[in-house]
Structure 1
């Protein structure tokens, strides 16, 4: 490395703020002169979406190009569109791209690879937050917490006491048979928490070996037939899209509850609404959906007494933003010291 300051563009947003990235970089490289230019993109106040050939980006190519014009060697971002046009402009100086999220879907990886620019990401940054949120959704659905709050706080009604009748009272986690579909970074944390509550935890994940928290079952059908509540933690792949449809939901015992804070398309929403309307399922709690934002005409809106709906907030914690900035800075530190990168895709 030269004696000149390391030039970094921290293209943050209102969640992973550029100041968090800058502080993490200075902490990671205390002996090196690091010059950080900060750019604040609009997310989440402005929605993300496709920009040129990349998806799930926020901001414009022009504003990223303008920010890179100072000659940045490193770009650290969460949502900036790192397109072929952006990379073509910056390729003479740019040597590393680090994305503060679980996958660099806002980066044209082929274009980066063709220019010998490594692209890194920050896996696991939101695993704890999503696991905690999942357990919160499960408790909310089992004990009708949002519905009771709405009755008292918004309607001024004490009629939530109806939930104290035997027929309408909720379920406890203790001794409850709960099936987890997937046992990765999030699912394994959920399993540990639910075991601490005393739940009867069962896990279906054909890709995981070794010891787990709970009882391993060998088929999804077996898990569904034995579980009073189901939480989803699988990755979205062509094989898992629509993993739980009408046939699978029918295998659940009457009155079962489903929680999905993983990926919306894992669950057939039409089949879910049918099962809720028929009474076969007693409740569902969702943080992710087949289409986001959730359309105004979604049938889920008409099932407010049986569903808990949140707008994809499972990873919305301050710790997630801080972890993302720290993990990104660690990758920059490895690159600056000439060490192997830990999370590189190119």
Structure 2
């Protein structure tokens, strides 16, 4: 029987080491691994650029020390830099429990023979649910009503027709992007009785719920009472929704963005809210984060704001832990990773952990 494989759990205060350990035991059994732990400070300390990688937590020195003799690392935020890779020659798999491996130097990892995996779709359901919550809050202006009650007001005049909110059932709702998040939301909105339009040049219409219609972006904007953004941010989609696109939207419509701040021109959005073009907006992401005190959207009327929390659920943390534990199990069995960010490294894959070999 092979000895337990050395593994580092470099969790944080969201994807906890406890969750990683539980997922690892469920996947491979309690005797498969020799576990070492490193606790990272995120989110109690903001992530930051570390050396050449982005959105990382902790330090190179602490990670280097913890990785000595370790062949597999499960983490969300640890910085996989050239310096770390050069100092940790036993490392073979670096499994990142987030949707993109921004905290890893993929080129250097490939040169050092380290496979880097990630966890696509880990927060798709959570983000879709948060989007639905913001959508409903904006359509019914729930935060405004909440604040008025706290202030001792009782605005029964909100039953006046022109002051009333919108409802999902019977509304036309346009989704810009129909990947994991948009596709799930389309299913939910259809079940709630909405007419759902989608704009996505890459979507297979057959994969969408029955009744969902794929249309060009200008048509979606012109027909929808609610527009929700779910596209990827690329150079092509940067400021996809600007002043010209907002002008195409229906009078009294709602805009929701839980995708990426760069998709939207926030100055133009604030102007559209102030002049009454839009009924409301609901936002979880911004062009600048954290949101500056002088940002124009702060003073816009009828806007619902949350601080980039769409993926912040316990279910996401548990799923993220399970996905990297699965990658560790694959490595242990000698199987290829499910989601490898640097697949070129697989051409030089070492033998599985259960086979005696000289790893360097």
Q: How many residues align?
A: 340
Structure 1, 216-225 or 240-249: larger mean CA deviation: 216-225
User: Do residues 138 (structure 1) and 135 (structure 2) align?
Assistant: yes
User: Do residues 83 (structure 1) and 98 (structure 2) align?
Assistant: no
Aligned-partner Cα distance in 2 for 1:217–1:333: 40
Q: Partner residue of 1:264? A: 261
CA drift of 1:31 comes to 6.8
Aligned-partner Cα distance in 1 for 2:241–2:174: 13
Q: Partner residue of 1:119? A: 116
Q: Is the 8 A contact 1:15 1:321 kept in 2?
A: yes
Q: Is the 8 A contact 2:267 2:297 kept in 1?
A: no
* 1:132-211 alignment, distance < 5 Å: 132-153=129-150, 155-159=151-155, 161-211=156-206
The 3 A distance-change label for structure 1 pair 145 and 5 is same
Aligned-partner Cα distance in 2 for 1:84–1:182: 35
Aligned-partner Cα distance in 1 for 2:7–2:188: 40
Aligned-partner Cα distance in 2 for 1:258–1:45: 31
Deviations 1:24-80 (A, max 9, x none): 1111111743121111111111111211100111111111112213x1111111011
Deviations 1:105-130 (A, max 9, x none): 00000110001110001111100000
Q: Secondary structure at the match of 2:38?
A: strand
Select the residue among 241, 246, 260 that pairs with 2:243.
246
Select the residue among 327, 331, 335 that pairs with 1:331.
327
Structure 1 unpaired stretches of 5+:
none
Q: Is the 8 A contact 2:224 2:250 kept in 1?
A: yes
Aligned-partner Cα distance in 2 for 1:131–1:197: 14
Q: Partner residue of 1:50? A: 49
Q: Partner residue of 2:225? A: 228
The 3 A distance-change label for structure 1 pair 30 and 281 is same
Q: Partner residue of 1:19? A: 18
User: Do residues 68 (structure 1) and 67 (structure 2) align?
Assistant: yes
Q: Is the 8 A contact 2:51 2:81 kept in 1?
A: yes
Structure 1, 203-212 or 285-294: larger mean CA deviation: 203-212
Structure 1, 243-252 or 45-54: larger mean CA deviation: 45-54
Q: Secondary structure at the match of 1:194?
A: helix
Q: Is the 8 A contact 1:206 1:218 kept in 2?
A: no
Q: Is the 8 A contact 1:82 1:106 kept in 2?
A: yes
CA drift of 1:185 comes to 0.3
CA drift of 1:259 comes to 0.4
Q: Secondary structure at the match of 2:10?
A: strand
* 1:261-300 alignment, distance < 5 Å: 261-300=258-297
